[in-house]
Structure 1
Amino acid sequence: MKNERPSWFKLIFFGLMVLLATARFTDADFLDREDIFDNVFQALTLDFSNLNTANLTEKSLLFNIFGLQPSGFTLESVRIKQQAELGFTYQVVVEQTIGNPALCQALQLRVMRDWQVLYEGSLMGFNYSSSLASDDTWQDLVFMLSLPAQAPPDLANQTCGFNMYVTTLSGEQGSPFTDQEVLTSQVQTGSWL
């Protein structure tokens, strides 16, 4: 009898193995299939640069003036160039960094694009916004900084340092993409009677 038991056990085990090996699907099997069409992932960039309009090199210093006199002025230009796939809106604001606040307030700024005056007034009041569409490549801005003829003598031999912050925001509504570039400037007045 002891010999019969192992042979029945082997026979049942062998039969179960054959049954499992030949079985294809049962009611307990699950099959899930997902077909996704036109599923596209795209990464876009937002970048711009402040370029020198004469030679297209990067520009970080806008004005560097020594000995500015009443009625004196200087011109500088910046090319705001799109270097990405997204269009953007940009804003330019001025913030004093060092020097005499009275001199910074007295300085006058005129900003032009395509020879149209965009802003004319106090340097410290400058706040300008514009946009570049994704198919635009650049905008040239011309800055004229001047000291009025009636500047008081207490502004002689003074310094005004300021930054122009050019901040961009993606043109896509609700997009968190931003970028910021800084143009630094330093103005030092000379002596006058």
Structure 2
Amino acid sequence: MNLANKITIARIFLVPVILFFLLVRFDLGSLAIGEVNISYAQIIAVLIFIIAASTDGLDGYIARKNKLVTNLGKLLDPLADKLLVASVLIALVEMDKLSALVAIVIISREFAVTGLRQIALLEGKVVAASTWGKWKTAIQITMIIVILLNNFPFALIHVPFDIICSWAAAIITIYSGIDYFVKNKSLIPVE
């Protein structure tokens, strides 16, 4: 197994660790900054999430640079991305920190685009990541981090950036999904 695939698998194994710190009820204490109170468990979870999210680009870069692109990597990389984001979104809904509607929109789009990519693979084609898809990923990761940090530092100046970011993520997610389907409509069988 090459280095890129090991990094991808590490990202998958970090998901339950993040969920442990988010969902298991234990008191590690908390950090108070002004009016913002963040549990140390959430801080640990967000740090692990940032590490896991940053490996997404790293594994792909290593695979392409060293000509280590494999079928296993092509399968595991998007799976790892979706597991990471979907799991944390579901945890945020469970923690009552994110609207279930936003989580459903984001997760549904991921399933839909994954389905489109599977159809493309059956046709021997690849649906590459679009610019809007990359923006979608960036805003989703930003949203998750801000929510996990209880809207810090924006809460200190009374700006609901977590809510703004959540709805922006939902809108960009919808738009990027539509963009994928419009640009790849020739792949959709019409029978």
Q: TM-score, normalised by structure 1?
A: 0.24
- Rg comparison, structure with higher value: 1
Q: Which has the higher strand share?
A: 1
Q: Please identify which structure carries the higher helix content.
A: 2
TM-score by length of 2: 0.24
